Structure 1
């Protein structure tokens, strides 16, 4: 049953406004979802051939969401405000099943809580898009694929759950 995920068919971005109500941000040109990078320290010495850039268990670096836009509008100004902003991103990927030679769809959702750290209104040029962007520091991320939670990261509550396995449970217990 090999299924081959192909490409994004379409996506939708929502973000909370000043009153905490989710609003559709309907003219972004693309999104760069957060990258999950572990904090590391280089270890070397007896018993190791050379060096190992060893990840520190459960410690994550900065995670950034980037929203790129064609032209600046009031929605992007709203996203530049200080304080917490919640995002809901949904996208559909087409999936090819090589067994029965059918194309289907896979639903993906990401729920993000973040704060604004950069607001670039873009450039002004005649007959051209502004190509602005906004960047957000992410501290909560939850990913769902076809209704199943596959990833949960909550930095303030020491949660790192992948496919139902809570990798930070032992750490939270040790800190009690």
Structure 2
């Protein structure tokens, strides 16, 4: 059995104002988007209490956050309006308990979104500014060791997990 342990290192790239991918090399940490389904509370006869039931095909806001130690021109560029593409690559160490070996696992996330917050941080002598930038994500694709494990494309009604397209039936029904 293989156990993923922790992140060894990561790299963040984003498109600049000309659409070229550039390295953002001084972030302190990243918060990848959460995938939360929109829901509605149902109650009544046949149900003991309430159920907060997820609505099929409806996802909440997906926010990607880049935290930085100090503001730079890189973050100002990312505050611009319009589409921004991101590529995050990170490596985790993995323990193979069958062979008692430690290996590496490559993870990649490709995202497309738009800037929704640019916080330049706090200025204090001899301290990090601790600024951040938030982005609304509408496309996300995750690849682990070369295999696509997740694809969400909100504008094209795609939600694919390990090759299973859960929204294919929804797209067909909407034709």
Q: Assess same fold via TM > 0.5.
A: yes
- The unaligned stretches of length 5 or more in structure 1 are none
SS in 2 for 1:34: coil
Match of 2:74 in 1: 75
Match of 1:12 in 2: 11
CA distance in structure 1 between the aligned counterparts of 2:168 and 2:99, rounded to whole angstroms: 41
Match of 1:38 in 2: 37
Match of 2:147 in 1: 148
Instruction: Name the TM-score, length of structure 1 as normaliser.
Output: 0.99
**Post-superposition offset of 1:7:** 0.2
**Post-superposition offset of 1:92:** 0.2
2:87 is equivalent to residue 111 of structure 1: no
SS in 2 for 1:173: helix
What stretches of structure 1 move > 6 A for 4+ residues in a row? none
Report the count of equivalent residues.
175
CA distance in structure 1 between the aligned counterparts of 2:166 and 2:133, rounded to whole angstroms: 31
- The unaligned stretches of length 5 or more in structure 2 are none
Q: How does 1:87-98 map to 2 (within 5 A)?
A: 87-98=86-97
**Post-superposition offset of 1:32:** 0.1
**Post-superposition offset of 1:61:** 0.1
CA RMSD in angstroms comes to 0.4
Instruction: Name the TM-score, length of structure 2 as normaliser.
Output: 0.99
